[in-house]
Chains A and B, each alone.
Chain A
């Protein structure tokens, strides 16, 4: 991981401060994590309210972001529907959801590429968009990265990175850009053209280009989804390290829960243009508020159920469901790792193991249960458990069972 070592060595050099007029400042040389050593609070947030503040260096370029009741409609379709959230300066937030959930549109609205129909957006406490008017994207101080990187094909890597460094002399811009390229480990490809780079390298150039002007907020639209799995893991770690080191406020849009959980401190799940749940990765995985959130973050056995005396009755047993009315249909979700084999006894449900697949660290078993359309999937330690074809009894750990009203 050359990028990481480079970042570390760069971090040990002492602070070389760059003077970028109009843009806020951050020290490129601050050690890893230093930007977050104290919890970011509103008092630390850089507010270019007064005109002089714009020229004063600040300990961090990171700005807070306020999204208040923002909606965006296309014709009859409401792509973003009354969304509100706040991102603290230096925080990394993931916006997740399936395609069409409105997350990319929301990103474009924040960047100023799309107007909004209701609500307000503020960056660093300064209103940048209302339905009455908006600051154009080039004056917002936001950086943006795209799925296909959108590198300018007619410019070299270096000139791609210097593109956003306006107000600097040629030499200064070049120096800043080279530093930025060094941080992502691509200084030696400075004179190459984008088409000569691999996908992972292009992604890193895009990152360097977006970060070089020190945006107050960095917006990333599916930045890893064009990479193959192996490259993706490396690039994701590198990107995370660079973001952490620069202390940039970042919003990552992704449809991949893995990206979201690795990168973000907080995740916002969007569905149908609305934020349906937000919180830590753990909260969204452990206590999803809706079936869609549950499905997005984990694999589940989904069993049709009916409410019966405060319980959800399924073919594989009854599960506590306090809110469920009698006769109301529901879906019971059981985590595959939450099913344990138990000695056959009263109360335990039985089934027959029809197949087992070795998955390396674990084993996936399929258990046919009478009355269920699909076999239950059970994740167990490899080699453990009864043989294929044997009849077994099982029980589910209550912590691994969720009940949702059917939709």
Chain B
């Protein structure tokens, strides 16, 4: 080896220091930064707000909103855990008529967004709606004034409705745990003479605690995110206060300050969820045995189990869905499918499709970067980019308003100075801003999905591709991409559906006169008019069924294992 050769090769070595991984890491860093923009800008906004507005908020808005939000979270938490964990235990531990169907049917309420369930029940439980009319007919009461039932437009009403559509998060995670790992210990408990009650409360439930917490924290994030249901039901939550502080009072700093308060709640939820996931990982490594053989229930016990698992499906899905079908049918017969609705459906699909494309590409970038640099940097960027799933849509939208406007002004100013052209608003109040907000909110879906898909590709395939002459990016294109295609497809569907259902961010960021199906429904419900709302709601629910089918399919092998 001559020293000359060494000297001549060294500069080349230095240039290739990080190989082809740099692009991916840089891409991931940019993505993570773009996700963090709303949070950073919120902090800046809140810091810049005038003190007196804040004092007003602290005195008049914050106490009520915080109390309402806390009570709502508490109620929804208790209800989702009771329904979700209870139903999960019933369908995994017992055999009763209808169990096979209910096993997946219990997921159906996932297809109904919170604002739609509230919309449907406002109608159903209206004093002159079908339910109260039926009750009056049975009791022989003529006038609505003579029978006062508790109003659904109340905090307990909101808890009830949100609980019945959000319990599937707990059901899903807990049922998976019961199927995967608890059986060995449950069998052991039985052979040690524990009765059914003891098995559930002393073995199954403690084992499932991390899974329950994960599910419940996801349900609570959805609760925090909700703006439609709490408005329709007249519950002044933090989210709603943020929304009205900005829309009605155009007090951006005040809204930002409220949003920061809510961010604290979000941070707590994330921390709880992360801790629970760690516990879950510990739990699954402990034991993994065959699925439990369900015990056959007979007579009254079977009927009780059937009722207990059927009621959540009826309340959370069947009743509102039937009502929407009925209303939509009436409307269609009366007025047909209005061109306005077609336009809104097109708006919804197109903006969702743009956002989905963004989400999938960005998800691939951050997940593959984390594979290429499987260290603190890569993993940290992946995690930062996935933060949006916990951010309520209102917070994301509010956090994006200022930076987008700033960017627009900057571009406009620069263009005017150098070319004498005014570009006006490029991003603010455009579909682009909306797609950006969706991407921030739902990036976690694709990043997580792609990451899980990549985890199934053995590292040695990467090494083989590299030593066969492929670059980091080439290996992705020729090896990983074909192998993770199913995961990518699933992520795209989930993200697309979530975009279509999104309401709070859409309300704040949509361009003028730009309506999606969700905002249309919101508008009608807010005005108290009933035109095409039911059709829009029904369309959203139908699209929302897609991920439910997907989830039911993914969990099917486990289900069939459980059913001998």
Contact with A along B478-518 (1 / 0, CB 8 A): 11001100000000000000000000000000000000000
- A132 CB-CB contact with B under 8 Å: yes
Q: Does A146 contact B (CB under 8 A)?
A: yes
| Cβ contacts A40-52/B at 8 Å (1 or 0 each) | 0000000101000
Question: How many chain-B residues does the 8 Å CB contact rule pick out?
Answer: 32
Q: Which of A54-62, A120-128, A395-403 contacts B (4 or more CB under 8 A)?
A: A120-128
1/0 contact trace for B7-45 toward A, CB 8 Å? 011101111110110000000000000000000000000
Asked whether A163 and B468 contact (CB < 8 A) given A136-B20, A148-B458, A150-B460, the answer is yes
**Would B1 and A125 count as touching, CB distance under 8 A?**
yes
Query: Shortest CB–CB separation between residue A248 and chain B, in angstroms?
Result: 14
Q: Identify the closest chain A residue to B475 (Cβ).
A: A138
- Specify which chain B residues have a CB less than 8 angstroms from the CB of A144 in the assembled complex: 463-464, 467
C-alpha gap A133/B471 in the complex (Å)? 16
Q: Which single member of B14, B469, B479 contacts A138 (CB below 8 Å)?
A: B469
Task: Find out whether the CB atom of A152 lies under 8 angstroms from the CB atom of B15.
Answer: no
Residue contact B16 to A135, C-beta cutoff 8 Å? yes
Chain A residues with CB under 8 Å of B470's CB are 138, 163-164, 166
B478 with A163: CB separation less than 8 A: yes
Q: Give the docked Cα–Cα distance between A65 and B188 (Å).
A: 59
- Please give the distance in Å from A148's CB to the nearest CB on chain B: 6
Q: With A130-B10, A137-B467 in contact, is A150–B15 under 8 Å at CB?
A: no
How far, in whole Å, are A151 and B464 apart by their CA atoms in the complex?
8
B271 at the interface (CB under 8 A from A): no
Q: Which of B5, B20, B474 is the most central at the interface, judged by chain A CB atoms within 10 Å of its CB?
A: B5
Contacts of A146 in B (CB 8 A): 460, 463-464
Q: What are the interface flags for A54-96 relative to B under an 8 Å C-beta threshold, 1 for contact and 0 otherwise?
A: 0000000000001000000000000000000000000000000
CA distance in complex: A135, B12 (Å): 8
Known: A125-B1, A126-B9, A127-B9. A138 touches B471 (CB 8 A): yes
Q: How far is the CA of A327 from the CA of B479 in the complex (A)?
A: 62
B12 / chain A contacts, CB cutoff of 8 Å:
135
A150 partner, pick from B5, B8, B458, beta carbons under 8 A: B458
B25 CB, nearest partner CB in chain A, Å: 14
A292 at the interface (CB under 8 A from B): no
Tell which of B20, B458, B464, B483 touches A154, judged by Cβ atoms closer than 8 Å: B483
Interface residues in B436-457 by Cβ distance below 8 A to A read none
| Residues of chain B lying within 8 A (CB to CB) of residue A197 | none
B59, CB-defined interface residue at 8 Å: no
* A270-289 interface with B by 8 A CB criterion: none
Pairwise interchain contact B1-A66, C-beta atoms closer than 8 A = yes
Cβ–Cβ < 8 Å partners of A97 in chain B: none
**With A and B bound together, what is the CA distance between A125 and B461 in angstroms?**
28
Residue of A112, A127, A215 contacting most chain B CB atoms (<10 Å): A127
Name which of A134, A138, A148, A151 has the most chain B CB atoms within 10 A of its CB.
Answer: A138
Q: Specify which of B5, B6, B461, B471 is in contact with A152 (CB 8 Å cutoff).
A: B461
Contact assessment for A150 and B463 in the assembled complex, using a CB-CB cutoff below 8 Å? yes
- Residue in B6, B8, B16 whose CB lies within 8 Å of A136: B16
Task: Write the nearest CB–CB distance from A242 to chain B, whole angstroms.
Answer: 17
A143 at the interface (CB under 8 A from B): yes
B 512-549 to A, binary, CB cutoff 8 A, 1 in contact else 0: 00000000000000000000000000000000000000
Residues on B with C-beta less than 8 A from A112 are 466-467
Q: Is the CB of A132 within 8 A of B14?
A: yes
In the complex, per-residue mask of B74-91: 1 if CB is within 8 Å of any chain A CB, else 0: 000000000000000000
Interface contact A111-B467, CB-CB below 8 Å: yes
* Chain B residues, CB < 8 A from A209: 464, 468
Is A142 at the interface (CB under 8 A from chain B)? Answer: yes
* 30 A-B residue pairings within 8 Å (CB atoms): A47-B5, A49-B8, A111-B463, A113-B466, A127-B5, A127-B6, A127-B9, A128-B13, A129-B13, A132-B14, A133-B13, A133-B15, A134-B16, A136-B20, A136-B466, A138-B470, A143-B468, A144-B464, A150-B464, A151-B464, A152-B465, A152-B479, A154-B479, A154-B482, A163-B465, A163-B468, A164-B468, A166-B469, A209-B468, A210-B468
List chain B positions with a Cβ less than 8 A from chain A: 1, 5-6, 8-10, 12-17, 19-20, 458, 460-461, 463-472, 474, 478-479, 482-483
Q: Ordered nearest first, which 3 A-B pairs have the shortest CB separation? A: A164-B468, A133-B13, A150-B460
A residues with a Cβ closer than 8 A to B are: 47, 49, 66, 108, 111-113, 122, 125-130, 132-140, 142-144, 146, 148, 150-154, 163-164, 166, 209-210, 213, 215, 219
Given contacts A127-B5, A136-B16, 15 further A-B contacts (CB under 8 A): A49-B5, A111-B466, A132-B13, A133-B17, A134-B13, A134-B16, A136-B19, A136-B472, A138-B468, A142-B467, A144-B463, A146-B463, A153-B483, A166-B469, A210-B468
